[in-house]
């Protein structure tokens, strides 16, 4: 198993499946009367968040606590890229605390990679800039597999601000590693130059791909993109790329609607779609804990030495 989880691009098929299989076990823990395992007793997990994200931090915290690890929440408030030089100092502080794992959320792409070079413990990327969010992709794959029984061979459509989405990047690599065919759908302004090197199909027409999609994953679209001329108006975006009841009806009956949250209701997803039985939004949150337990176990559950 790997030493760090920085990117789903580093994750081979066997490792990815190992995470998902391990998460299945962890999911059973949530159903027990005692939701706690002694596995990581004596291990210290630091949640190092340079960006506010209560939901992700809480999910990691719960996962670590269910495995009996000691959890330290280290929030660096008001940190910005311009103050980024403190990252190395922070890393040295964490070293001194004896952190076995650092869960890092950072506004700068690649920051967890740098951190990994400076600490002895494992680094888990909990979202870096617009680069990656590996545990989100793993929980999405886990959710798909639980609902549809498999990932391989499915058509997954990722819709929205692909350019600025770490969730999209992590999902593209992971889902294609697991054998899904991925299509990204966005206005051309929100598709990165260089996307032709990705293992995906690109479409600008959501309605054309919905009937053949087994999973439709909606990405959050921030309103401020509008002012930077990525699209003319919120209304136009919503009309062309938002998932409403009519579009939901155009999807195959078994197809899933996913969203990594937080949702902008009425923008990329209509409220009734978000709350429909086809939506996995709430499950995704629960599955997040199981997947993060699995990752923590696989990173910290063995010896430090390479066998």
- Annotated catalytic residues are 55-56, 83, 105, 133
CA-atom Rg of the chain in angstroms: 19
Closer to another protein at the Cβ: 117 or 249? 117
> Distance between CA atoms of 153 and 293, rounded to whole angstroms?
27
Whether the CB-CB separation of 167 and 136 falls below 8 Å is answered with yes
Does 301 participate in binding another protein (rule CB under 8 A)?
Answer: yes
Write down the least CB distance from residue 101 to another protein, Å: 13
> Distance between CA atoms of 275 and 1, rounded to whole angstroms?
37
Q: How many CB atoms lie within 10 A of CB 231?
A: 21
Question: Which has the closest alpha carbon to 242: 266, 272, 260, 225?
Answer: 266
> Binding string to another protein for residues 150 to 169, with x set by CB under 8 A, is what?
----------------x--x
Among 4, 57, 105, 106, binds another protein (CB under 8 A): 106
> Distance between CA atoms of 294 and 290, rounded to whole angstroms?
6
Question: Which has the closest alpha carbon to 134: 254, 267, 264, 298?
Answer: 298
The phi, psi pair for 270, rounded to 5°, reads: -80, 150
Site for another protein in 45-104 (CB under 8 A): 67, 81-85, 87-88
> Binding string to another protein for residues 7 to 36, with x set by CB under 8 A, is what?
--x--------x--xx--x--xx--x-x--
Write down the least CB distance from residue 280 to another protein, Å: 24
Contacts of 126 (CB under 8 A, 6+ apart): 47, 49, 53, 56, 57, 60, 103, 104, 105, 112, 133, 135
Does 198 participate in binding another protein (rule CB under 8 A)?
Answer: yes
Among 49, 60, 231, 297, binds another protein (CB under 8 A): 297
Closer to another protein at the Cβ: 106 or 259? 106
Whether the CB-CB separation of 175 and 186 falls below 8 Å is answered with no
Write down the least CB distance from residue 163 to another protein, Å: 9
> Distance between CA atoms of 267 and 3, rounded to whole angstroms?
39
> Distance between CA atoms of 133 and 171, rounded to whole angstroms?
8
Write down the least CB distance from residue 190 to another protein, Å: 12
Closer to another protein at the Cβ: 131 or 247? 131
Which range binds another protein by CB under 8 A, 143-151, 175-183, 275-283, 296-304? 296-304
Among 103, 186, 264, 298, binds another protein (CB under 8 A): 298
Q: Rule CB under 8 A: which residues touch another protein?
A: 1, 9, 18, 21-22, 25, 28-29, 32, 34, 37-39, 67, 81-85, 87-88, 106, 108-111, 113-114, 117, 128-132, 166, 169, 192-198, 297-299, 301-304, 307
């Amino acid at each position: 198993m790997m030493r760090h989880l920085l990117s789903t691009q580093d994750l081979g098929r066997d490792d990815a499946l190992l995470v998902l299989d391990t998460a299945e076990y962890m999911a059973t823990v949530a159903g027990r009367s005692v939701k706690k395992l002694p596995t990581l007793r004596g291990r210290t997990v630091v949640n190092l968040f340079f960006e506010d994200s209560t939901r992700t931090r809480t999910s990691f915290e719960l996962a670590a606590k269910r495995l009996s690890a000691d959890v330290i929440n280290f929030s660096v408030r008001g940190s910005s890229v311009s103050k980024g030089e403190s990252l190395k100092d922070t890393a040295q502080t964490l070293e001194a605390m004896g952190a076995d794992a650092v869960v890092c959320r950072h506004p700068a792409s690649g920051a967890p990679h740098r951190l990994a070079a400076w600490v002895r413990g494992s680094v888990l990327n909990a979202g870096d800039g617009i680069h990656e969010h590996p545990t989100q992709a793993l929980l999405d794959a886990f959710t798909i597999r639980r609902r549809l029984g498999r990932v391989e061979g499915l058509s997954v459509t990722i819709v929205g601000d692909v350019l600025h989405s770490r969730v999209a990047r992590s999902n593209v690599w992971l889902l294609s590693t697991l054998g899904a065919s991925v299509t990204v759908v966005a206005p051309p302004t929100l598709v990165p130059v260089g996307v032709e090197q990705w293992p995906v199909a690109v479409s600008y027409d959501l309605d054309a791909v919905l009937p053949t999609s087994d999973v439709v994953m909606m990405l959050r679209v921030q309103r401020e993109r509008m002012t930077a001329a990525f699209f003319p108006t919120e209304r136009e975006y919503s009309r062309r790329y938002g998932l409403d009841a009519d579009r939901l009806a155009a999807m195959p009956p078994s197809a899933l609607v996913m969203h990594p949250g937080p949702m902008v209701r009425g923008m990329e997803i209509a409220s009734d779609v978000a709350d429909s039985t086809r939506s996995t939004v709430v499950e995704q949150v629960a599955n997040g804990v199981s997947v993060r337990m699995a990752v923590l176990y696989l990173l910290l559950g063995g010896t430090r030495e390479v066998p």
